[in-house]
């Protein structure tokens, strides 16, 4: 359209910084068995979205298998003003034994089993980023790794997800031996299991759904931002751990402390009147670590937080692609968009500081000519407080003050 000879022309200028767009990091992915499920509602090896309190889908799922119980345990952990968790369910065929079921969970690496989670985004419009496979992550043959734990890191990397995996829940040594087979900052190991009471019957079930339920609760408490750990949080709806874990806040030579030192999250019992216990009562989950090798990225709240930042930039900055030419205004708009988003995270205490730069050494005329430029950013996620050192000493100046007071009182009496 040409400009009028006599009139008004209005052009919208669209080079302002974009508002940050966040991703939901608390969508749960559960893979397991439900042998009595309605095949039409929950087809095998197919991701199905549901809310954890959806009565119709819960009925279609049936009460048998591992998925229904996991949903119950997740729901038990939800906090104030939370109605349900968002869940992607992948149902696999129940094998004749655990090994066959594990093979079905691992799947073919492309469409079945765990790979079905990859299709959740295109098919359902949600991406699960808190995964679990309760009951099938501890079994091993000899010194081999569990097959599900071996397959999970690749799936998690594609989804930018983390998986909570259950240990053997038998002995401390068995838990440590199992831990030695894990190596991924996207795996969060936990041990032991939990005890539930159904009527008068006591059962033992994996703890991972409870931990994931805590994660959903904590993200909700923090307005969807996953920068906070799940440690020192109550575990609800259970009657106890599958085995007692000895623990002391002040003594590293306890089973709980040794498991934590090896990055295994634990379930502890509160003890009334015991100051070195984790709480005065109830049951508490304590765990801050993932199973990666790099201590710089040891805390799962840090790795989840960095996923959140990366996804935020992907969702926010894609708007610029193809719409804008590379100009000074475009570069400044991108830099400002990133800076403002990180500024808000710092203001909320999610990160301690940040830096966003456009530099000559990362860009060249040849790159610009090809429609490319690079922005450097650095941010420091807030570490979780897991150790508090207190130094106790005598205070001699108090005696000087006491002596001054005594002298003043004597002087007042004697004149």
Measured CA distances, 271 to 248, 253, 278, 282, 283 (Å): 11, 18, 8, 8, 9
The residue written with tokens 């991701």 in the block is 47
> In the numeric block, which tokens belong to residue 324?
């804008």
Whole-number Å distance between alpha carbons of 260 and 66 = 27
| pLDDT tens digit at each of 415 positions of the chain | 677 888 887 777 777 788 889 999 999 999 999 999 999 999 999 999 999 999 999 999 999 999 999 999 999 999 999 999 999 999 999 999 999 999 999 999 999 999 999 999 999 999 999 999 999 999 998 889 999 999 999 999 999 999 999 999 999 999 999 999 999 999 999 999 999 998 889 999 999 999 999 999 999 999 999 999 999 999 999 999 999 999 999 999 999 999 999 999 999 999 999 999 999 999 999 999 999 999 999 999 999 999 999 999 999 999 999 999 999 999 999 999 999 999 999 999 999 999 999 999 999 999 999 999 999 999 999 999 999 999 999 999 999 999 999 999 998 888 6
Q: Which residues of 311-323 are buried (b: 16+ CB within 10 A; e: fewer)?
A: bbbeebbeeeeee
Q: What crossing angle do the helices spanning 300-317 and 328-347 adopt, rounded to 10°? A: 150
Global pTM value: 0.93
Strand order from edge to edge, sheet including 194-198:
201-205, 194-198, 240-241
Nearest Cα to 211, choosing from 234, 245, 244, 185?
Answer: 234
The residue written with tokens 């930042």 in the block is 309
Residue 224 CA neighbour count, 13 Å, CB half: 10
Residue 1 has a pLDDT of 60
Nearest Cα to 129, choosing from 164, 78, 168, 178?
Answer: 164
Give the fold, CATH level 3, of 28-302: Rossmann fold (3.40.50)
Distance of CA 116 to the CA centre of its chain: 21
Contact between residue 272 and residue 315 where contact means Cβ atoms under 8 Å apart: no
> In the numeric block, which tokens belong to residue 244?
């007692």
């Amino acid at each position: 359209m040409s400009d009028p000879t006599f009139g008004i022309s209005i052009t919208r200028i669209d080079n302002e910084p974009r508002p940050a767009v966040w991703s939901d990091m608390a969508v749960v992915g559960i893979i397991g068995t439900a042998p009595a499920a309605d095949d039409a509602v929950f087809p095998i090896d197919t991701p199905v979205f549901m809310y954890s309190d959806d009565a119709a889908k819960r009925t279609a799922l049936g009460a048998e298998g591992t998925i229904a119980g996991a949903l119950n345990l997740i729901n038990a952990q939800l906090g104030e003003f939370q109605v349900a968790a968002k869940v992607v369910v992948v149902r696999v065929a129940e094998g004749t034994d655990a090994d066959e079921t594990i093979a079905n969970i691992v799947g073919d690496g492309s469409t079945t089993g765990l790979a079905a989670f990859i299709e959740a985004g295109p098919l359902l419009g949600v991406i699960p980023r808190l995964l679990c496979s309760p009951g099938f992550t501890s079994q091993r043959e000899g010194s081999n790794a569990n097959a599900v734990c071996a397959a999970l890191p690749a799936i998690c990397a594609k989804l930018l997800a983390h998986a909570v995996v259950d240990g053997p829940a038998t002995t401390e040594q068995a838990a440590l031996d199992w831990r030695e087979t894990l190596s991924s900052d996207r795996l969060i190991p936990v041990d032991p299991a939990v005890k539930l009471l159904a009527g008068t019957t006591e059962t033992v079930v994996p703890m991972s759904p409870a931990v994931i339920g805590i994660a959903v609760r904590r993200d909700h408490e923090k307005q969807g931002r996953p920068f906070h750990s799940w440690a020192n949080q109550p575990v609800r709806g259970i009657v106890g751990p599958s085995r007692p874990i000895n623990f002391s806040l002040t003594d590293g030579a306890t089973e709980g402390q040794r498991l934590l030192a090896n990055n295994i999250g634990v379930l502890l019992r509160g003890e009334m009147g015991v100051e070195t216990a984790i709480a005065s009562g109830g049951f508490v989950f304590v765990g801050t670590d993932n199973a990666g090798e790099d201590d710089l990225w040891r805390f799962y709240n840090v790795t989840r937080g960095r996923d959140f930042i990366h996804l935020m930039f992907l969702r926010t900055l894609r708007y610029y692609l193809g719409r804008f030419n590379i100009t000074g205004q475009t570069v400044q708009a991108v830099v400002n968009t990133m800076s403002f988003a990180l500024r808000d995270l710092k203001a909320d205490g999610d990160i301690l500081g940040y830096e966003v730069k456009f530099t000559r050494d990362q860009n060249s005329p040849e790159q610009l000519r090809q429609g490319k430029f690079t922005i450097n950013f650095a941010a420091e996620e807030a570490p979780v407080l897991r150790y508090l050192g207190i130094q106790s000493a005598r205070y001699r100046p108090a005696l000087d003050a006491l002596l001054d007071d005594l002298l003043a009182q004597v002087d007042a009496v004697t004149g």
